[in-house]
Amino acid sequence: MELLVVGAGAMGRWLARSVEAPVAFADVDPDAARAAADAVDGRAVSVETEETFEAVCLAVPISAVEAAVAAHAPRAEAAMFDVSGVMRDPLAAMRTHLPDRERASLHPLFAPANAPGNVAVVPDASGPVLDALLDDLRAAGNHPFETTAAEHDEAMETVQASAHAAVLAYALAAGEVREEFATPVSAALDDVAATVTDGTPRVYREIQETFPGAERVAAAANRLADAEGDTFDALYSEARERIDGDPAAGRRSEDDSTAGGS
């Protein structure tokens, strides 16, 4: 089996290194495709190639994935999957353009430099090609786990959109202080902020534009800023209950907000 990886960025290269299959790269930047191919002993092809491949992986930005499904569906002999980071819309496009082929959406929940790790998987139409690719990911030390497109995309509102917004907001709000003043909490936040800001804004911008979540962070920050006395104590307790996994915490928050309690 030969795999076509569309998108020669870090995630496409990670995928190519993680599977036991000959790989061809295609990218709108031909130099990037050649560099990625050289890095994994593969080959580069034109992004408009008429070749077909047993499987096609779309490792493209969220904003480009639906168009990429339509453009590259004719090149997928047996299977197509994406690693874009959103699931509902790419899978809907695959059902339209590849109704009789294997389809899946995968989301590695880590930066390639931190691999291996958890990989969310929606096997929309399973088969031997995608099963073999998932076996390769497991052999490389990853943990693919099944979910649904709805569950995944809702989770991204918290673990990506809200988390990134909170970290970036801290970085924007932080003042200049001497290193000796750092606390364990501030030092941990500084480390996370350094991770988030070590790169380019494109990926984080697309996440914010795709998933809601930043608005909830802003609203929560405003609640804290306005809170005094028992109101602050109640918010602190609510935060602890949420971290401890109390499902009632969210309902209490909505009730309090409706009643004007905060």
> With b meaning 16 or more CB within 10 Å and e meaning fewer, what string describes 26-57?
bbeeeebbbebbeebebebbebeeeeebbbbb
Expressed in percent and rounded to 5, the helix, strand and coil fractions of the chain are 55, 15, 25
In a domain, 218, yes or no: no
In a domain, 53, yes or no: yes
Residue 260 has a pLDDT of 38
Return all residues near 177 (Cβ < 8 A) that are at least 6 apart.
none
Residue 248 has a pLDDT of 56
Residues 204 and 257 in one domain: no
Q: What percent of the chain has pLDDT over 70?
A: 94
Residues 47 and 74 in one domain: yes
Residue 253 has pLDDT above 70, yes or no: no
Residue 217 has pLDDT above 50, yes or no: yes
| DSSP, residue by residue, 216-236 | HHHHHHHHHHH--HHHHHHHH
| Average confidence (pLDDT) over 18-40 | 96
Residue 245 has a pLDDT of 82
Q: Which amino acid is at 102?
A: E
CA–CA separation, 104 vs 97, rounded Å?
13
Residues 133 and 161 in one domain: no
Residues 181 and 140 in one domain: no
Last residue of a domain, one of 113, 147, 181: 147
Residues 60 and 183 in one domain: no
The whole domain housing 260 covers 227-262
Residues 246 and 180 in one domain: no
Residue 1 has a pLDDT of 84
| Average confidence (pLDDT) over 218-233 | 96
Q: What is this structure's pTM? A: 0.88
Residues 136 and 8 in one domain: yes
Q: Give kind and range of the element (H or E) at residue 75.
A: none
When divided into structural domains, the chain yields a total of 3
Alpha-helical regions (H) of 52-183: 65-72, 88-97, 128-139, 149-156, 163-173
Residue 249 has a pLDDT of 54
| Average confidence (pLDDT) over 170-188 | 95
Residue 246 has a pLDDT of 63
Residues 120 and 36 in one domain: yes
Residues 41 and 94 in one domain: yes
In a domain, 216, yes or no: no
Residues 126 and 58 in one domain: yes
The four Cα atoms 104, 109, 115, 118 give a dihedral, to 10 degrees, of -70
| Average confidence (pLDDT) over 234-248 | 86
Residues 121 and 169 in one domain: no
Residue 46 has a pLDDT of 97
